[in-house]
């Protein structure tokens, strides 16, 4: 197991890796759940008198979301209710000067780590540890803290290089996410375990079904992946219409696997019996899947399906959610996702909700986060945890603790 910030001596100079990757709209960085979660870790560190320099990333080179972290520092300041400095440099002279001036209880955000050539691509941790990026910054700090669980599946310099050359610890988000998201592999449940799977990427969800079959009793499918399984079951859905490009390529790539899983796990899989779409009056309309001929995009599971899935959740001892069952950002097509979340909130079941932006539905529709066992801010790392895959950034923290 890795060391946590409970093991840190007070009043040290810390290099803290966060995942502040956020939506960018019209060039403006948007606040999201990650800022609030990481602010809790920072607040605890600052109260213990640590001087903190933050490493984080935003977007990827070549994309519109690849921007500076200047806005991120301002958003963090709002959450922390204290000043947060920013330097438009990561490990050059300006960054080193700003780090040297850090006092206990102060926090500094360094520039986007992915603006450093050595941050990407993914390479062995020992290779990343030998980069100029790591070798320059590491001597400036007493210890390294990784709180970026949602990026823990990436072997990037800021995530895996520093633990090779420094004392390294897990922050609160890293610790909590790892414990909750690994529970499906490590914990035994006496009652029924249900998993709601939705979203857009079949290649992400298929391994989950196969890898957790020994633990999960029932899979409730929705979203694009649910429609692909309906196609495999012989229904006239699961292909692109109206210029969409979600289905046909994934069907061609995953067809054999989907058909095999449908046959092997038939008794465990629950598919939608009705679907929702935008009607002529722009209102939500629904149709049964039996005898259906697809001529429009389906944006949510139907009311009967939502009620069935919610009932299955209420009967469960544990529920895991990965991905949305519909386009919940549009309240007309949030019924499936919200029905499952409300059912979880009404019960005392052990629950983990995660997968990209799915957790946003909790806040959007007035649910209380305290009614859920754990709300994950991770996407790719959450998928890998569910399937029992190792997370390289967690491995290097564990190695550092030995």
pLDDT by residue for the chain (402 residues), tens digit each?
999 999 999 999 999 999 999 999 999 999 998 999 999 999 999 999 999 999 999 999 999 999 999 999 999 999 999 999 999 999 999 999 999 999 999 999 999 999 999 999 999 999 999 999 999 999 999 999 999 999 999 999 999 999 999 999 999 999 999 999 988 888 889 999 999 999 988 888 888 999 999 999 999 999 999 999 999 999 999 999 988 999 999 999 999 999 999 999 999 999 999 999 999 999 999 999 999 999 999 999 999 999 999 999 999 999 999 999 999 999 999 999 999 999 999 999 999 998 657 778 998 999 999 999 999 989 889 888 888 889 999 999 999 999
**146 touches 137 (CB < 8 A):** no
State the chain's maximal CA–CA distance in angstroms: 70
SS3 140: helix
What the block records as the tokens of 224 is 């694009």
> How far is 209 from 322, CA to CA, in rounded Å?
11
Pick from 167, 121, 149: nearest CA to 15: 167
Q: In which residue are the tokens 């857009």 written?
A: 200
Please count the CA atoms within 13 angstroms of the CA of 308 that sit on its side-chain side.
16
pLDDT at 379: 85
Helix axes 223-232, 202-211, angle to 10 degrees: 70
**304 touches 274 (CB < 8 A):** yes
> How far is 235 from 302, CA to CA, in rounded Å?
15
> How far is 321 from 342, CA to CA, in rounded Å?
12
What is the DSSP pairing of strand 85-86 with strand 350-354?
Answer: unpaired
For residue 275, count CB atoms less than 10 angstroms from its CB and return exposed for 0-12, middle for 13-18, buried for 19 or more.
buried
Q: Residue 85 belongs to what H/E stretch? A: strand 85-86
What end-to-end distance do the CA atoms of the chain give, in Å?
Answer: 9
For residue 127, count CB atoms less than 10 angstroms from its CB and return exposed for 0-12, middle for 13-18, buried for 19 or more.
middle
**395 touches 401 (CB < 8 A):** no
> How far is 163 from 157, CA to CA, in rounded Å?
10
> How far is 75 from 59, CA to CA, in rounded Å?
17
Phi-psi group of 270: left, alpha or beta (phi > 0 → left; psi -120 to 50 → alpha; rest → beta): beta
Question: What DSSP string runs through 172-222?
Answer: HHHHHHHHHHTHHHH---SS-EEEEE-SS-HHHHHHHHHHSTTT--EEEE-
CA distance to 156, 237, 245, 277, per residue, from 13 (Å): 22, 57, 49, 54
Model confidence pTM above 0.85:
yes
Q: In which residue are the tokens 């590491």 written?
A: 138
**289 touches 275 (CB < 8 A):** yes
DSSP 160: I
What is the DSSP pairing of strand 274-278 with strand 300-301?
Answer: antiparallel
**62 touches 48 (CB < 8 A):** no
């Amino acid at each position: 197991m890795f060391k946590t910030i409970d093991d840190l001596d007070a009043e040290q100079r810390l290099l803290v890796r966060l995942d502040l990757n956020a939506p960018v709209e019209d060039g403006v960085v948007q606040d999201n759940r990650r800022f609030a979660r990481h602010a809790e870790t920072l607040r605890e560190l600052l109260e213990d008198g640590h001087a903190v320099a933050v490493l984080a990333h935003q977007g990827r080179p070549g994309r519109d979301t690849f921007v500076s972290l200047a806005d991120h520092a301002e958003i963090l300041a709002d959450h922390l209710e204290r000043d947060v400095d920013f330097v438009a440099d990561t490990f050059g002279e300006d960054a080193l000067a700003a780090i040297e001036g850090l006092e206990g209880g102060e926090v500094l955000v360094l520039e986007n780590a992915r603006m450093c050539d050595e941050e990407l691509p993914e390479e062995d941790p020992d290779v990343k540890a030998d980069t100029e990026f790591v070798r320059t910054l590491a001597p400036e700090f007493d210890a390294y803290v990784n709180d970026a669980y949602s990026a823990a599946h990436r072997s990037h310099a800021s995530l895996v290089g520093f633990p090779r050359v420094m004392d390294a610890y897990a922050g609160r988000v890293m610790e909590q996410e790892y414990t909750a998201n690994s529970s499906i592999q490590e914990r035994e449940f006496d009652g029924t375990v249900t998993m709601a799977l939705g979203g857009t990427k079949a290649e992400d969800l298929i391994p989950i079904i196969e890898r957790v079959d020994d633990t999960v009793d029932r899979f409730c499918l929705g979203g694009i992946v649910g429609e692909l399984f309906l196609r495999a079951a012989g229904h006239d859905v699961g292909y692109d219409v109206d210029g969409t490009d979600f289905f046909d390529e994934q069907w061609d790539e995953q067809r054999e696997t989907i058909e095999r899983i449908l046959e092997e796990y038939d008794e465990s899989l629950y598919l939608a019996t009705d679907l929702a779409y935008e009607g002529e009056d722009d209102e939500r309309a629904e149709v049964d899947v039996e005898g259906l001929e697809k001529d429009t995009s389906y944006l949510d599971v139907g009311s009967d399906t939502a009620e069935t899935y919610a009932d299955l959740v209420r009967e469960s001892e544990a529920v895991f959610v990965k991905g949305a069952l519909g386009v919940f950002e549009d309240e007309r097509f949030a019924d499936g996702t919200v029905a499952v979340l409300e059912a979880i909130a009404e019960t005392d079941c052990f629950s983990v909700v995660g997968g990209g932006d799915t957790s946003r539905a909790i806040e959007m529709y007035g649910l209380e986060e305290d009614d859920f066992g754990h709300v994950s801010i991770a996407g790719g790392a959450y998928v890998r945890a569910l399937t029992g895959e190792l997370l390289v950034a967690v491995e290097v923290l564990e190695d550092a603790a030995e």
